Amino acid sequence: MNTRVNDEPAAASLTERAYVMLRDRLVMLEIKPGEPINEDRLRSELGVGRTPIREALKRLEQERLVVAFPRRGTFATDVNISDLSHISEVRRTLEPLAAAAAAERATAEDRASLTELRSRLDTTTPSGDNTELLRVDVGVHRAIYRCVHNPFLEDTLVSYDNLATRIWCVFLPRLSGMAGHVDEHVPLLTAIIEADGKKAGELAAQHVIGFERAIRALI
């Protein structure tokens, strides 16, 4: 009895590890849209068993990152540019809400972490590598979401940001001005650090609208 109970957190930890690693590969299109998910290969690469992989895939299917077909297997979902308007509609509502909430609810520790993140953004010379810049963009978004202190809203925000990031990835080779898009986070982080919810919400809305415009300009 005791062994079984003590094993449960370890199992949950392995599932979370598998989920995070798989999610990030899918979001950054390291696993290509439509590509089959090879569970045996993933078990070897991630160093986890079959159960954590399958539990992670169930969660990723709920988040529209993979799709399972009976007797065929599990595949990375396609990236449909036609979904952009739907994804943006949700993000235009939730991102400003989250930024304003983060400005109001962030703890002293949260604000210290965001200040450190802002300093890194402010002092680091922008890389010409759009993929690396996009990873920075994703990292900033997730840092802000954590400051909302609402796990349900955070999960929703991460899910839609992941779907938006996959669209970014499709256009990365053709995108210009990615460094400027990432630089927009500096005033946004400042507004949150200074507890200016109104300004944080406005800047977050502009950021989402700018993303949609940049993509539409390339379609």
Q: Reduced to 3 states, what is the DSSP secondary structure of residue 76?
A: strand
Query: What ranges do the domains of the chain cover?
Result: 2-76, 81-216
Helix H or strand E encompassing 208: helix 197-216
Task: Please name the fold of domain 2-76.
Answer: Arc Repressor Mutant, subunit A (1.10.10)
Compute the mean pLDDT over every residue in the chain, rounded to the nearest whole number: 88
Give the global pTM. Answer: 0.85
Q: Tell me: the pLDDT tens digits for 99-122?
A: 999 999 999 999 999 999 999 888
Q: Tell me: the pLDDT tens digits for 45-76?
A: 888 888 999 999 999 999 999 999 988 999 99
DSSP state of 8: H
The Cα 95–Cα 36 span in angstroms is 32
Task: Please name the fold of domain 81-216.
Answer: Four Helix Bundle (Hemerythrin (Met), subunit A) (1.20.120)
Count of beta carbons in the 10 Å neighbourhood of residue 173 = 8
pLDDT attached to residue 194: 97
The Cα 169–Cα 161 span in angstroms is 12
The answer to whether the CB of 110 falls within 8 A of the CB of 143 is no
Altogether, the residues listed in the chain come to a count of 219
Say if residue 7's pLDDT is above 80.
no
Pairing of strands 73-76, 66-69: antiparallel
Looking at the chain, the whole-number percentage of residues with pLDDT higher than 70 is 89
Average confidence (pLDDT) over 181-191: 89
